[in-house]
Structure 1
Amino acid sequence: MAGAATIHPNWAQHIPTRITDGYSIEITAKDCEALRTAASSLAPETPIAITFLPGETIDARIDAAKLVRDLGFEPMSHLSARRIASYEELEQTIRLSVEEAGVQRMFLVAGDPPVPAGPFEDTLSLLRTGLFDAHGVKAIGIAGHPEGHPVMDEDACWAALTMKCAEVSNRGMAPLIVTQFGFDAARVLDWLIALRERGIDAPVRIGVPGPAGIKTLLRFATHCGVGASAAVLAKYGISLSRLLGAAGPDRLVGDIAAGLRPGHGPVRLHFYPFGGLARTAEWIGQHRANQN
């Protein structure tokens, strides 16, 4: 199930020389000052995802995408289907993102609200408007869930992912899968094999938590439905009996790098800083330097 278009020419090498080659990172519109500060520590042209938070205006999101572009990075704006109030709001957001910030890729999720604010129920309903391809968006990011989805069983989750990849490809855009963060490298690697066995060859960005306080990591894990059993956390380097201090993704990233094989397909890392953009950028820089 190859994409009809691609903006990932450097992914021909499935296993990167360094696991942090070609990484991406996530921010919110509120992180603009932090991004300016951390910009010199990030690799040029790094894809930077801009999350869709409730209460933020279209202008704030567009301004964040413009800043990402102006600083020499590649913006990937998020859209949450159930938070979009109208077709007109969707069209305006896509059009301005492309015209003012040069956005070429967008990331689509259904979103958390149980009742949609407007006419869009899920990612497919956004795609089927035809607005993304009409405005020249080249790639669409969709969510992957190696540890399962909070409201869908495994079969439904695979079926939805397959349909979304096909819809993106059929519209002449490139599908890109970005996974929820997790703590278990083995679970991610097994999921990648299952993905490829289903004929889905889209590039995957594996979600990795940046270095953060242990309580912060556990709070986000609970909110996102991420598995955080004592055994899994121990492999990550966290003990539930000692919640003070911070933890970094060294062991997780090392285990992913050690386990990657050609059969896992094209893979890169996607970092979730959890409010610590500078700390995450510093960690990435140190890790890359140590791999030289």
Structure 2
Amino acid sequence: MSNELPTVALARLVEGARYEVMPTPTIVDKVRTHVPASVPITVTAAPGKGLEATLWTSVELAGAGYTVVPHLAARMVSGRAELAEVVARLAEAGVTQVFVPGGDADPPAGDYTSALDLLRDLDTLEHPFTHVGITGYPESHPSIDDDVTVQSMWDKRTYATHIVSNMTFDAEGLGTWCERVRRRGVGLPLLVGVPGPVDRAKLLGMAGKIGVGESLRFLRKQKSVFARIAAPGFSTDKFVSRVGALSANPALRIEGLHVFTFNQVEAMEAWRARMLDEARTARVRPVG
């Protein structure tokens, strides 16, 4: 990727953005109603729901013509035998991309205590996955030191095709983190995790729909997220525009957006269409 104008880079990122959804009972219908099949959909894995909800949602969306990226949370998979079954099921559905986080299941379901454990076994299995994502943390992990997370990306780099960052709000910090990762020798392209322009009341309601225990875990984990999304002056538009400007620097290898929708997919798609139109208009706007 050569140097780009910021508006060109922004249009490229917004056009290719992918959406993260939670596997609730209604999400398949919502996606099919409001999101074009050209938008990739990633499906989270929550310990309270089990991996089956993720797999079922992914298979249904793949059958509807979407490019689907299920989250295979390592700590939710019991071991190699279950992993092989999951791979076979996804292969049959035509799924060619996965995202492999460590996950929050405590205790773990079986043999895998980290993403690296599962990635090593996946590498020895025949599988259809042309894209395998791993996690990155420009916003510090709540329980793992930054040096450890950067080292982890180095350890996993040979098993992956790209990095997907957790949700981030600080463009300057993102740029600094990217430079640090590149200096460490991790050259995988990066998809930046950004918060969608979600309605705050609906966001709280979404937390309530994913199960009582899971909701409490979600709220504890994401309390800073709620505060920062609601903070005066924060704008998804402005932040994504800054990420677009960063991505114009080819050395950072920022190649996409991973948008956290919190299942507000109708509003999300309207936002993407508007941002794309504005970016394209800025590219052709007369000077003077």
**TM-score interval (norm. to shorter):** 0.7 to 0.9
Name the residue aligned to 1:148: 140
CA distance in 2, matches of 1:227, 1:27: 16
Say yes or no: does 1:236 pair with 2:234: yes
User: % of aligned pairs identical?
Assistant: 27
Task: Kindly provide the amino acid, as one letter, of the partner of residue 118 in structure 2.
Answer: L
Which residue of 221, 224, 237 maps to 1:223? 221
Name the residue aligned to 2:283: none
Normalization by structure 1: what TM-score? 0.78
CA 1:34–1:216: 2 relative to 1, 3 Å: closer
CA 1:180–1:58: 2 relative to 1, 3 Å: closer
Which runs of structure 2 are paired with 1:197-276 in the superposition (5 Å)?
197-214=183-200, 223-224=221-222, 233-237=231-235, 249-260=236-247, 261-276=249-264
Contact 1:76–1:105 (CA under 8 A) maintained in structure 2: yes
Contact 1:147–1:227 (CA under 8 A) maintained in structure 2: no
CA distance in 2, matches of 1:214, 1:157: 30
Q: Deviation digits for residues 113-161 of structure 1, max 9, x if unmatched?
A: 3321211101111012136752232221111100112222121111111
CA distance in 2, matches of 1:221, 1:68: 27
Secondary structure of 1:236's aligned partner: coil
CA distance in 1, matches of 2:38, 2:100: 21
Q: Deviation digits for residues 214-244 of structure 1, max 9, x if unmatched?
A: 46769878524757887x944525xxxxxxx
Contact 1:13–1:266 (CA under 8 A) maintained in structure 2: no
Name the residue aligned to 1:24: 18
CA distance in 1, matches of 2:59, 2:140: 34
CA 1:14–1:178: 2 relative to 1, 3 Å: farther
Task: Kindly provide the amino acid, as one letter, of the partner of residue 272 in structure 1.
Answer: F
Name the residue aligned to 1:159: 151
Say yes or no: does 1:134 pair with 2:126: yes
Q: Following TM superposition, by how much is the alpha carbon of 1:196 offset from its aligned partner in structure 2, in angstroms?
A: 1.6
CA 1:216–1:58: 2 relative to 1, 3 Å: closer
Secondary structure of 2:138's aligned partner: coil
Name the residue aligned to 1:180: 166
CA 1:106–1:225: 2 relative to 1, 3 Å: farther
Name the residue aligned to 1:66: 59
Name the residue aligned to 2:211: none
Which runs of structure 2 are paired with 1:26-45 in the superposition (5 Å)?
26-30=20-24, 31-39=27-35, 42=36, 44-45=37-38
Secondary structure of 2:72's aligned partner: strand
CA distance in 2, matches of 1:63, 1:56: 11
Count of residues in correspondence between the two structures? 260
Contact 1:182–1:207 (CA under 8 A) maintained in structure 2: yes
CA distance in 2, matches of 1:207, 1:197: 21
Task: Kindly provide the amino acid, as one letter, of the partner of residue 31 in structure 2.
Answer: L
Name the residue aligned to 1:78: 71
CA distance in 2, matches of 1:17, 1:35: 24
Q: Following TM superposition, by how much is the alpha carbon of 1:270 offset from its aligned partner in structure 2, in angstroms?
A: 0.9
Q: Deviation digits for residues 234-259 of structure 1, max 9, x if unmatched?
A: 4525xxxxxxxxxxx11111222233
More divergent stretch after superposition (86-95 vs 151-160):
86-95
Give 5+ residue unaligned stretches, structure 1: 1-11, 169-173, 238-248
Q: Following TM superposition, by how much is the alpha carbon of 1:289 offset from its aligned partner in structure 2, in angstroms?
A: 1.4
Root mean square deviation, CA, Å = 2.8
Secondary structure of 1:259's aligned partner: helix
Secondary structure of 1:177's aligned partner: strand
Which residue of 95, 100, 109 maps to 1:103? 95
